[in-house]
Amino acid sequence: MADRERIYLSSPHMSGLEQQYITEAFDSNWVAPLGKNVDSFEEEIASYVGIAGAVALSSGTAAIHLALILLDISRDDIVFCSSLTFIASANPILYQSATPVFIDSEPDSWNMSPVALEQALTEYAAKGKKPKAVIIVNLYGQSADYDRLKAICDAYEVPIVEDAAESLGATYKQQMSGTLGKFGIFSFNGNKIITTSGGGMLVSEDLSLLEKARFYATQARDQAKHYQHSQLGYNYRLSNILAGIGRGQLQILNERIVQKRNIFDYYQNELSTIQSIQFMPETSFGKSTRWLTTAWIDPKQSSVSVSDIITHLETYNIESRPVWKPLHLQPLFQECAYYTHQEQDISATLFNQGICLPSDTNMSLQQQEFIVQQLKDIF
């Protein structure tokens, strides 16, 4: 079936609005890093989520790294991190020569378990090794339970870095995702709900720390007529052209959220009679963007496995993937501590039984109908 048009998991979806900002950059010859588009993109993102300020960067990973630098994370410090996530959430911990400790998910949101977090914090505080930060990931477009998680972190005076790379536009009790921690992180990678092809954003209410982030992200250049550097810096700023793409994309973000949620609703409605398919639940405390439609296959209800589904769909040139492989199961982190949810490894269960279905806003209804028919056939 290789001659069939490829249906992607989540591909870039241009609106046509991006071109005017790219053209302005070319017409002004401002194609080097920084410029009007960068400044405006920062202001527009900050305004959209309702926060004091933002710094446009080359990736979400760079944003997490700078957040850890600003929190003075260094060698042998402890940083807690969600386990069920992409490795970019935790790699910056290693950049700072710190030690990650991974926290399981809870079944209601698939995000960080308050139960597991509290156990970990209690044990590490008792050992005199309180973490310097907790990185909480908002998985697949849905916010974690921040009231419970923040209360635990506040009790131990540990700051939160909110990895909202997958959840731009989601809400938690009417508050925008990315604004609930000391720092918030967004990603504009090619597969995200809006894209700059590659890019990210660091947001915070603390403007003085964001100014330091700009300093570190531009090679930590001192105030001098010549090139002088007293501190280690990074080449982390977003280009003016890519920021122009982001400005055009941001204008249609709400439309994309509606499309993503409609895609999820169609899957859920059409597959509701298949008992073995259980979709990622939407919590009562927030509204998900449904960046990716994800589900888990109950092995007690069916002998069909996630691998079976992925293989079957691929024969029709349809892209699907397993849920993230938890970081505590990654070879890179095999020596790291891990705390489960009530003695259940929720993250591992979701990885073994979870699937991400095509959630591409470029996908036609006819294509989605075809995918649903293939799923019905295999079950």
Q: Catalytic residues, which ones?
A: 192
For residues 89 and 163, is the Cβ–Cβ distance under 8 A? yes
Alpha helices in the chain (DSSP H): 18-27, 36-49, 60-70, 91-95, 114-126, 146-155, 207-217, 240-250, 253-270, 306-314, 346-353, 365-378
Residue at 272: amino acid letter: S
- How is residue 165 annotated by DSSP? T
**56: how many CB neighbours lie within 10 A of its CB?**
31
Rg (CA), the chain: 21
For residues 130 and 367, is the Cβ–Cβ distance under 8 A? no
Query: And the tokens for 16?
Result: 């046509």
State the Cα angle at 87 between 85 and 90, rounded to 5°: 95
Query: And the tokens for 296?
Result: 């888990």
Name the helix (H) or strand (E) containing 322. strand 321-322
Contacts of 366 (CB under 8 A, 6+ apart): none
